[in-house]
Amino acid sequence: HVQLVESGGGSARSGGALNVSCVVSGYSTRAYYTVGWFRQAPGEEREVVAYFYSDGTDLSRTAYSPSVKGRFTIFQEDAKNTVYLQMNSLKPEDTAKYYCAADPSWVRVGKGQAKYSGQGTQVTVS
């Protein structure tokens, strides 16, 4: 049974930075599951912001939503089964609850249809 627990987040000023992390337990992150981050603000649709995908040989390729590309970075530490989302140059429109998600298929993660997700952590930018 895969479990994901997010931490970090909080409040930041516009232009500031925050880091959120997600510990994945149950399976080795890289070997069995692709992990990504999505966010959802009240009244808004879910938006996948970053995830890992495979180009056929390498599962460490990264993809980003156009709204965060160049500002956010997803990376992971295999030894800690932890995935991070470093968020720089934050904007008020980045305010949302951020969730990490995992699925054996990176395609489903990229579509926001991952089988597993955490409880989320709030990010507020003013």
| The 3-state secondary structure of the chain, one letter per residue | CCEEEEEECEEECCCCCEEEEEEEECCCHHHHCEEEEEEECCCCCCEEEEEEECCCCCCCEEEECCCCCCCEEEEEEHHHCEEEEEECCCCHHHCEEEEEEEECCHHHHHCCCCCEECCCEEEEEC
78 or 104, higher pLDDT: 104
pLDDT in tens, 81-110: 899 999 999 999 999 999 999 999 999 999
pLDDT digits (tens, 9 = 90+) for 23-62: 998 875 556 788 999 999 999 999 999 999 887 777 789 9
The larger pLDDT score, comparing residue 76 to residue 55, is at 76
Q: State yes or no: pLDDT of 67 exceeds 80.
A: yes
Q: Give residue 56's pLDDT.
A: 77
Q: In this predicted structure, what is the pLDDT of residue 30?
A: 58
